Amino acid sequence: MAMLIEDNAAQNDFLVKDNYVPITAKMWSIGGGKGGTGKSFVTLGLGSRLAKMGKKVVIIDADLGGANLHTLLGIRYPEHTLNDFLKKRVDTLNELCLETPISNLKLISGGDDILYLANPKYSQKARILRNLKKLEADYILLDLGAGSSFNILDFFNYTQGKIVIVSPYPTSVQNAYGFIKSALFRRLSQVFSKNGQILNLIKKSIDPGSEERINSVIELIAAVDQVDGESASIMNRELDNFKIKLIVNMAKSRGDMKFGDIIKIVSDKYLGVSVDVLKPIPFDMMVEKSIILTDPLLYNKTGSEVAMSIYEVTSDILKASKCL
């Protein structure tokens, strides 16, 4: 957790300010800490469904260490990748958009130069983020990699729309909660990067070994309020803006819904973060098959429960997008 506040504060200024700049495209990140929970599958399902509704969608493979969205779409060798942008072979992200088998759905591939991309330098990450707004699209979906490295957290925090995917296992629940917590504290650390006193209080909330430990964000805000009421209002506003949509993917029974509810309850209690648990997506062998056959909508053709769930998730995201 310490790393959340270690990198150069001044450099991160735009991450804080850019959140208040109006944008036209609706941006959503799909993350969640643990690997293999279905982030890429949900990105693709949601993107395809929005595209079928006539929205112009760009999905971005922001899994910089293990890009594979192009493969899921049956594209073997992407003509352009984010690497071309980072190496300044092209000037805009629009030039990287690849056509996919689904009309209205474009892909920006994460590229194959894995080692180079997995740890983009600060300036490279900033360049990608700042250019997202110039993309010609109605919806931009970012498929994030596994883990909670600060590059992943910065992508997640940059988009106002935030989706967390969890699979119905205790380890996945732990990871998803840890991911939400890390993202929130990274954001707060960036917002208060120039205020040593408040930053110290944030550190006490993060550091489990701290003597005067602060146990929840509610306690943190109360402590901040003692120091400076204005900062407490800013923190409250940050919490109001930090809303999570959570999906339990690969659910095997109705009871698996509880994994989403646990995250909701704990996030509310300890982080003061509102988590909206959407309809779970069931486990279905057809999903695996559609991936093996690189036929992204195979599960759809059968009118399956998975297809129905994706449909409902899409309606929720459309509704929530109106408020972004």
Ligand X SMILES: Nc1ncnc2c1ncn2[C@@H]1O[C@H](COP(=O)(O)OP(=O)(O)OP(=O)(O)O)[C@@H](O)[C@H]1O
284 binds ligand X (CB under 6 A): yes
297 Cβ neighbours under 8 A, 6+ residues apart: 48, 102, 290
Is the CB of 40 or the CB of 182 nearer to ligand X? 40
Residues 65-84 that bind ligand X (CB under 6 A): 66
Query: CA separation (Å) from 239 to 197, 244, 273?
Result: 19, 11, 6
- Tokens representing 171 are 């380890």
Stretch of residues binding ligand X (CB under 6 A), selected from 37-45, 101-109, 117-125, 236-244? 37-45
150 Cβ neighbours under 8 A, 6+ residues apart: 3, 4, 7, 186
Is the CB of 102 or the CB of 201 nearer to ligand X? 102
CB-count burial class (<10 Å; 0-12, 13-18, 19+) for 40: buried
Stretch of residues binding ligand X (CB under 6 A), selected from 118-126, 181-189, 259-267, 286-294? 286-294
Residues 119-178 that bind ligand X (CB under 6 A): 145-146
Number of residues that bind ligand X (CB under 6 A): 20
Secondary structure of residue 41 in the 3-state scheme? helix
37 binds ligand X (CB under 6 A): yes
Is the CB of 201 or the CB of 245 nearer to Mg ion? 245
Stretch of residues binding ligand X (CB under 6 A), selected from 36-44, 129-137, 208-216, 254-262? 36-44
User: Residues 12, 29, 37, 40: which binds Mg ion (CB under 5 A)?
Assistant: 40
Torsion from C-alpha of 304, 309, 314, 320, nearest 10 degrees: 170
For residue 226, how many other CB atoms are within 10 A of its CB? Answer: 10
208 Cβ neighbours under 8 A, 6+ residues apart: none
249 binds Mg ion (CB under 5 A): no
Is the CB of 110 or the CB of 282 nearer to Mg ion? 110
Please choose, from the candidates 88, 135, 82, the residue with its C-alpha nearest in 3D space to the C-alpha of residue 109.
Answer: 82
User: Residues 11, 13, 14, 36: which binds ligand X (CB under 6 A)?
Assistant: 36
Q: What's the CA gap between 284 and 293, in Å, rounded? A: 15
48 binds ligand X (CB under 6 A): no
The residue ranges that bind ligand X (CB under 6 A) are 35-41, 63, 66, 145-146, 249-250, 281, 283-284, 287-288, 291, 306
The residue ranges that bind Mg ion (CB under 5 A) are 39-40, 63
